[in-house]
Amino acid sequence: MQNRQGGGVQEIRAGRIAPNRVEGTEGGLVDNLRTALTSRQATLLTEWQVRPAAVLVPFYEHDGQWHLLFTERTHEVEEHKGQVAFPGGGRDPGDSSTVETALREAEEEIGLQRADVAVVGQLDELLTLSRWRVTPVVGVIPHPYDFAVNPRECTCVFGVPLRWLTDPANLEGRRRPSPTDGSELEVYCYREYEGHLLWGVTARIVRMLLDALSQAARPGVHFGPGPCVGPRLESLLTELCL
């Protein structure tokens, strides 16, 4: 081992240090640091701060069929301009829970009153490429409903039949470049429904919901990660009265 002193910093080149020969490891800074490191709870950190958010995944019944409600975002919003989405957004400091975040955002975006939503439960959280940690909150809403769409955030609200969403023929895989390293990532993308393109995180949430429904009908049966994997779910939806 070779040491070279310069500028008050000791440079240590390749070699081995015998642990018992390291001086100054008892008491003072090192002892305090050892105590702090052994008593702390280890966690996983990323190179960026993940922002908490929640979306409402609203069910409603129309003409004997269950539908999911979506919004289409304007080009005036800061992120995800013009995309199909569920109503939702970032968690405010005053929100007591992710459920409150989802209900508050739905009320602000489309005028859906909190008292009119029967919350069913939550799906798994997602980490998005845009650095959001999204909690999908599933709820049932009445139909018809007098929505008050915020024109600064949404161009419209529309519904898609659940049976259409379960058909693998309406789902395809697409690839897009990663914003971090340029590699290609596969994303979910549904075919256009009445001029609306459902893809990305919103499509993934739909897939998570369908998988939860398949689990409710037949434990151990998964809808699958791709457009051609797993059952079509028509029989499962019938069993669930959907």
Residue 101 has what pLDDT?
Answer: 97
For the chain, the domains span: 3-39, 51-239
Please give the Cα distance from 211 to 224 (Å, whole number).
Answer: 7
| Strands 51-62 and 9-12, bridge-based pairing | unpaired
pLDDT at residue 206, as a whole number:
94
pLDDT for residue 222? 47
Fold of 51-239: Nucleoside Triphosphate Pyrophosphohydrolase (3.90.79)
**Whole-number pLDDT of residue 46:** 67
Q: What is the DSSP string of 38-100?
A: HHSPP----SSPPEEEEEEEEEEEETTEEEEEEEEE-SSSSSSTT-EE-SEEEPPTT-SSHHH
Mean pLDDT, each 10-residue run in order, the chain (242 residues): 53 51 62 82 73 94 93 76 87 95 97 96 87 92 96 94 91 70 76 92 92 71 39 46 46
DSSP single-letter state for residue 192 = P
Q: What is the pLDDT of residue 4?
A: 53
pLDDT of residue 242: 47
pTM metric for this prediction: 0.72
